[in-house]
Amino acid sequence: MTLEKLFAPGSVAVIGASRTPGKVGYDILKNLVESGFGGPIVPVNPAGGEILGQKVYKRLADYDQTVDLVVIVLPSQLVLEAAREAVAKGAGGVVVISAGFKEVGDEGRKREKELADIVRRGGARMLGPNCLGLINTATHLNASFAGRMPEPGSIAVFSQSGALCTAMLDMAAQRHLGLSKLVSIGNKADITEVDLLRALADDEDTSVIVGYLEDISSGDHFVKAAERACLKKPVILLKSGTTAAGRKAAASHTGVLAGAETAYGAAFKRSGVCRADTFDALFDYATALDMQPLPRGKRVLIITNAGGPGTMAADAVEKIGLEVAVLDRNTTTALRARLPASASVGNPVDVLGDADPDRYVAALEAAQEDESVDAILVLLTPQAMTKPVETARAIAASLDGSKPVLASFMGGKDVLPGRQELAAAGLPDYESPERAVSALKAMYDYNVWRRRPPRQVTRYPVNRRRVERIISRRQRTGQLQLSEVKSKDILKAYGFHIMDGSLAGSVNEAIEIARFIGFPVAMKIVSPNIIHKTDLGGVRLGLSSAQEVEDAYDLMMLRISKQVPDAVIEGVYVEKMADPGLEVIIGMTRDPQFGPMLMFGLGGIFVEVMKDVTFHLAPITREEAVQMLKSTRSYEMLKGKRGRKEVDIDAIAGSLQRISQLTTDFPQIIELDINPLIVGEIGTVPTAADARMTLAPAKNIPSPR
């Protein structure tokens, strides 16, 4: 682990140790002493003396050995000096418990920056400030002021909220869950979620990572670290808080449609993170992923001692997108032989209200052997003959580890001893069938992500130089809204098909161009001051004669001059009409954290009324692009509907990949819409019929991903 000195220090000092119970400086020392930490513990307090049987040093410098980890519990004004002492003493890890930094305003923010600099220059890593500390059960280290030491186990927990740290610790205690580490990351001045994802991914004591986050420090690093971690072990995150900042002013459809949480959703999906939507779900999922193997597929068998709960569970399985398994004939035969005649051997398998542990075992054994079952859900209700404890023991003893088995012992007081037995035996147990099914779904989704094909991003041959020239010229002149014509120039350089067309400066020129490229044509106003051309009557389609072109030109000029008298008109773009086809919209908006987010949706009402769009982080693979199309509600339209033939889905995926390449190559592009992209039947090339881009100001170019 890269955070070795924090998690496995040889010695620990507490600067600000106190002799007053109830003070944080006392609680931390007490936790350190009582957790059974093996190395020297060095309390520091100007008063000296002895606390909890440990000799107190007046200054850290007075201790004659080096110290690996230094915990600082002082008023914020004194923290910087203490940090200097810590690094002077050779500490590799510093934990700053004290508050009074970034969270209290500008002065605190400055102090926090200084603190981080001191620690970094000293070659150490720092947790906090404004945190609860950390716990490592493997090294018996409790360098926190949490109220309890967790049981050892393999779930690692980190949290941006110290309060949730304690709540999770308390919940783990109640559920008898063992933890490997607990880390309160506080203000994240040095160590962030990215460092922890990296360290915990490599931590052999940890099999599941659970985290609570309110923001993410670096989107790019986060995605990379999370993806790397998810390849090794499941990562479950609860992300709260909505930050709509900076999105309101979007000029593109794509920008407007990207909600505040869209980027986080896309980042989690990309990197394989299992997102918990509720506090309950964090440990519901963690327990299952920690204790049980992943399901190979989505077919669930339900074993129950009552019909009602079985039906409820089957409802939940179908609602969440898993399947009720159809048992193999051999299994039903085996079940019939081992269960009473009136038992139901379908799915749910009903072992009846008077079921003893043996019947549960019979059903479980048969289900474990059945190749058409991927996961098993065992339900128990407390009836007259029910023996929750014995049943729990018998079930636990019959697990062969071949597929996940989850339980829901429903009820309260009477089933509690059975539930505790399950927990002790490593069998995840839930208060309701629905929660067990949600956990199964999380396991299934994680396995699907794990087994996805290797990501391979296509690189198309493009004319990158041409785009560079256009962009740098525009950034120099400050014309950051690209017109349709300029946007299409860029798209053309990246392999998009654009209809023939040219800019006309007069009505005669327009007619001439139309005759040259051939009717029917479209005409669109070109002006840096006009973004929403259609709204102002600046777009005319399907003009099929010189007369129509002339009429349209004159009318357009008349209208525009009335409505936007100050607009600088560069001319009118005359373009050959594209063949009719299905109109889709593809776009990109750049998230401040996660970089380019691609969007796909069907055009017209699907986008405008139904908001039926999907997002994905760039760069994107072909499979991911196709998945984007499939995850819209209107996907059916692409497959042919209402008398229209199937459109070329691969061609749309290709267009998304090209936009992915363009916006990854050019961080200067901050928004882009192709609306519509007109898509034809299989084998045809889509046409970018209208386009719009926004560039970042020259000085403010986001760094490339």
Regarding 321 and contact with its own copies (CB under 8 A), the answer is no
Q: Which of 372, 398, 432, 627 is the binder for its own copies (CB under 8 A)? A: 432
Regarding 433 and contact with its own copies (CB under 8 A), the answer is yes
Q: Could you give the string, one character per residue 404-423, with x where binding to its own copies holds by CB under 8 A and - elsewhere?
A: ------xxxxxxx-------
**Beta bridge mates, 13:** 42, 70
Q: Which of 20, 77, 278, 402 is the binder for its own copies (CB under 8 A)? A: 278
Length of the chain: 705
| In the complex, least distance from residue 341 CB atom to its own copies, rounded to whole angstroms | 11
Q: Which is nearer to its own copies, 411 or 571 (CB)?
A: 411
Instruction: Name, in order, each residue with C-beta under 8 angstroms of 527's C-beta and a sequence gap of 6 or more.
Output: 483, 538, 560, 564, 567, 568, 569, 570
Regarding 217 and contact with its own copies (CB under 8 A), the answer is no
DSSP line for 45-86: -TT-SEETTEEPBSSGGGS-S--SEEEE-S-HHHHHHHHHHH
CA distance 362 to 337: 10
| In the complex, least distance from residue 676 CB atom to its own copies, rounded to whole angstroms | 14
Regarding 441 and contact with its own copies (CB under 8 A), the answer is no
Q: At 302, is the secondary structure helix, strand, or coil?
A: strand
Q: Which amino acid is at 511?
A: I
Q: What is the 3-state secondary structure (H, E, C) of 402-423?
A: CCCEEEEECCCCCCHHHHHHHH
Token pair for 192 = 């962030």
Q: Which is nearer to its own copies, 501 or 676 (CB)?
A: 676
By CB under 8 A, the residues from 142 to 171 that bind its own copies are 145, 147-148, 159-164, 166-171
Q: Which is nearer to its own copies, 236 or 511 (CB)?
A: 236
**Of the candidates 29, 58, 62, the residue with the CA atom closest to the CA atom of residue 44:** 58
Regarding 265 and contact with its own copies (CB under 8 A), the answer is no
| In the complex, least distance from residue 450 CB atom to its own copies, rounded to whole angstroms | 28
By CB under 8 A, the residues from 82 to 121 that bind its own copies are 104
| In the complex, least distance from residue 14 CB atom to its own copies, rounded to whole angstroms | 15
CA distance 144 to 394: 39
| In the complex, least distance from residue 240 CB atom to its own copies, rounded to whole angstroms | 4
Q: Which is nearer to its own copies, 127 or 637 (CB)?
A: 637
| In the complex, least distance from residue 280 CB atom to its own copies, rounded to whole angstroms | 5
Q: Which is nearer to its own copies, 30 or 622 (CB)?
A: 30
Give the total of residues touching its own copies (CB under 8 A): 75
The CA distances from residue 414 to 316, 352, 441, 683, in Å, are: 25, 18, 28, 66
Q: Which is nearer to its own copies, 128 or 619 (CB)?
A: 128
| In the complex, least distance from residue 237 CB atom to its own copies, rounded to whole angstroms | 13
CA distance 47 to 59: 10
Between CA 681 and CA 690, with CA 685 as vertex, the angle to 5 degrees is: 105
Regarding 279 and contact with its own copies (CB under 8 A), the answer is yes
By CB under 8 A, the residues from 627 to 656 that bind its own copies are 633-634, 636-637, 641-642
Reported in sequence order, the residue ranges of 483-560 that DSSP labels E, i.e. its strands, are 501-504, 521-526, 539-543
**Beta bridge mates, 418:** none
CA distance 506 to 550: 10
CA distance 77 to 494: 56
CA distance 264 to 177: 28
| In the complex, least distance from residue 680 CB atom to its own copies, rounded to whole angstroms | 19
Token pair for 32 = 């350190």
Regarding 579 and contact with its own copies (CB under 8 A), the answer is no
Token pair for 233 = 């072990």
CA distance 220 to 223: 5
| In the complex, least distance from residue 380 CB atom to its own copies, rounded to whole angstroms | 9
Q: At 166, is the secondary structure helix, strand, or coil?
A: helix
Regarding 66 and contact with its own copies (CB under 8 A), the answer is no
Regarding 192 and contact with its own copies (CB under 8 A), the answer is no
CA distance 18 to 47: 9
Q: Which is nearer to its own copies, 508 or 563 (CB)?
A: 563
CA distance 31 to 17: 12
By CB under 8 A, the residues from 580 to 619 that bind its own copies are 604-606, 608-610, 612
Regarding 277 and contact with its own copies (CB under 8 A), the answer is yes
| In the complex, least distance from residue 665 CB atom to its own copies, rounded to whole angstroms | 35
Regarding 214 and contact with its own copies (CB under 8 A), the answer is yes
Q: How many other β-carbons are positioned within 10 Å of the β-carbon of residue 382?
A: 18
| In the complex, least distance from residue 150 CB atom to its own copies, rounded to whole angstroms | 11
Regarding 429 and contact with its own copies (CB under 8 A), the answer is no
Q: At 610, is the secondary structure helix, strand, or coil?
A: coil
Q: Which stretch binds its own copies (CB under 8 A): 2-10, 277-285, 475-483, 541-549?
A: 277-285
Regarding 549 and contact with its own copies (CB under 8 A), the answer is no
Q: Which of 73, 258, 300, 312 is the binder for its own copies (CB under 8 A)? A: 312
Q: Which stretch binds its own copies (CB under 8 A): 141-149, 190-198, 498-506, 580-588?
A: 141-149
CA distance 97 to 47: 20
By CB under 8 A, the residues from 377 to 396 that bind its own copies are 381-385
Q: Which is nearer to its own copies, 400 or 414 (CB)?
A: 414
Q: Which is nearer to its own copies, 244 or 249 (CB)?
A: 244
Q: Which of 294, 316, 470, 569 is the binder for its own copies (CB under 8 A)? A: 316
In the 8-state DSSP scheme, what is residue 347? S
Q: Which amino acid is at 500?
A: D
